[in-house]
Structure 1
Amino acid sequence: MELVVNTLAVARGGLTVLEGVSFVLAPGAALILRGPNGVGKTTLLRTLAGLQPAVAGTVSVPPESLTYAAHADGLKAVLTVEENLQFWAAIHGVGGVTEAMAQMNLTDLRARRAANLSAGQKRRLGLARLLVTGRPVWVLDEPTVSLDVASVALFAGVVRAHLAGGGMALIATHIDLGLAEAAVLDLGPYKAKAPVAPGGFDEAFT
């Protein structure tokens, strides 16, 4: 199974922001998305995750093979660390809660409610959800927000292990995760051209 994106165009607020995006992500591979703020990285990832329709082009991947992690951690504040992971594991029909807590250094916090975690701890718990989905394609939007240097290294190790097991990762980030095996896709060349007003000038100044 591969993630195949072919001449994809995506829009934000009704305006096309990227067009002609094409790439193939194979098992064991990672792709880092780069580009200035506002270029459309989040919009692209949301489209790939099925949260909004594409303007044009195709995305070929079984929907049940993909999991998405964005800026929100997706936690239930009244549940403990362990209960949050058990909740997500039950939804996806898989286990691995104990292992996920160990991999993201959450074992000592297993009985603490999510509401009482620090921002970095919440982020690690949100990312630990990836490990209990059982899904091979990880689509990640700035996953290291709120993480300290040690936690970034911890997460990078988790990603490497996922890739070594045949998983795939598509990551929008400005941080160097130290993934030597990852390719980089600069979205700048795919920025959609601004629409031109009739007559070739801005009608606001007529």
Structure 2
Amino acid sequence: MQAIATNLTGRRGDSVLFSGIGFSLAAGEALVITGPNGAGKSTLLRVLAGLLRAESGQFVLTDGQGAELPVFDHAHYLGHRNAMKRELRVSENLSFWKRLQASESDGGLDIDAAIDAVGLTGVAHLPFGYLSAGQQRRIALARLLVTPRPLWLLDEPTAALDRRSDELFADLVRGHLADGGIAIAATHQPLGLEGVSTLELSRATASLPDLSFQDDGVWA
């Protein structure tokens, strides 16, 4: 499995937010995208997810043997919002996503096991809107577990989480990478992940001819 971005340029309205973005990630690798508000972190993630069209360049996901895989069918995108209905029970929300994103090779966790994995045993029967902001975010993370997809695209994934939940999130990502997955996260906060690559965007990125990243170990 490989995720490869080549000379990506992203625009919002009349403004070019970034250009010349390129990276290559193999199975078991992660990339953390950093930068100030307005630098284009969320826009870049949406381009990778196929939710926005790149101004130029391309992003492809391959099986590692050269065959291209449709990102839509092989990626989880977790944005700023949790993509859950407040009126529905936690179990109903997760069941919806499990059915929607099911595949022939589905080997994801069942609903109760996914809830247990994010440390919220016993909340399956509660309406999603009854949960605290931090609990809601953890259930949104549980959505990543009910259907296995090799690429995780995460926008501020630890928003509203406390320190203990931050550690739980880091463990989930480590497990995903150990299983051969790939993770790309945009964040302002340390994620507690070791040996990940970082890509820093800035408001000046649009004027750069190219942008590469270095493996800096633990990002902080």
Q: Please, what TM-score do these two structures have when normalized by structure 2?
A: 0.84
Which digits, 9 at most, give the CA deviation of each residue in 1:69-107, with x for residues without a partner?
011000011221122111111111244122211111122
State the 1:189 CA deviation: 8.6
Matches within 5 A, 1:83-94: 83-93=92-102, 94=106
Q: What secondary structure sits across from 2:206 in the alignment?
A: coil
Q: Which residue of 1 aligns with 2:182?
A: 168
Q: Which residue of 2 aligns with 1:118?
A: 132
CA distance, structure 1, for counterparts of residue 113 and residue 23 of structure 2: 32
Structure 1: 5+ residue stretches without partners: 195-206
Which is further off, 174-183 or 68-77?
Answer: 174-183
CA distance, structure 1, for counterparts of residue 206 and residue 198 of structure 2: 20
Aligned residues: 194
Computing the radius of gyration from Cα coordinates, the structure with the larger value is: 1
Which of the two has greater helix per residue?
A: 1
RMSD: 1.6
Q: Which residue of 1 aligns with 2:34?
A: 34
Residues 21 and 190, structure 1, Cα contact 8 Å, conserved in 2: no
Identity of aligned residues (%): 44
Residues 34 and 186, structure 1, Cα contact 8 Å, conserved in 2: yes
Matches within 5 A, 1:1-206: 1-61=1-61, 62=69, 63=71, 64-93=73-102, 94=106, 95-96=108-109, 97-188=111-202, 191-193=205-207
CA distance, structure 2, for counterparts of residue 151 and residue 77 of structure 1: 21
Which digits, 9 at most, give the CA deviation of each residue in 1:12-57, with x for residues without a partner?
1232110000001110011111111111101100111111100011
Residues 136 and 168, structure 1, Cα contact 8 Å, conserved in 2: yes
| Pair 1:15–1:189, CA change in 2 (3 A) | closer
Q: What secondary structure sits across from 2:112 in the alignment?
A: helix
Tell me which amino acid in the other structure corresponds to 2:59: V
Residues 20 and 190, structure 1, Cα contact 8 Å, conserved in 2: no
State the 1:181 CA deviation: 2.2
| Pair 1:39–1:99, CA change in 2 (3 A) | same
Residues 177 and 183, structure 2, Cα contact 8 Å, conserved in 1: yes
State the 1:193 CA deviation: 3.0
Which digits, 9 at most, give the CA deviation of each residue in 1:84-137, with x for residues without a partner?
111111111244122211111122211111011111111111111111231110
State the 1:190 CA deviation: 6.8
Tell me which amino acid in the other structure corresponds to 2:79: A
Q: What secondary structure sits across from 1:107 in the alignment?
A: coil
CA distance, structure 2, for counterparts of residue 91 and residue 47 of structure 1: 22
Q: What secondary structure sits across from 1:122 in the alignment?
A: helix
Residues 112 and 124, structure 2, Cα contact 8 Å, conserved in 1: no
Residues 67 and 133, structure 1, Cα contact 8 Å, conserved in 2: no
Q: What secondary structure sits across from 1:108 in the alignment?
A: coil
Q: What secondary structure sits across from 1:192 in the alignment?
A: helix
Q: Please, what TM-score do these two structures have when normalized by structure 1?
A: 0.89
Structure 2: 5+ residue stretches without partners: 62-68, 209-220
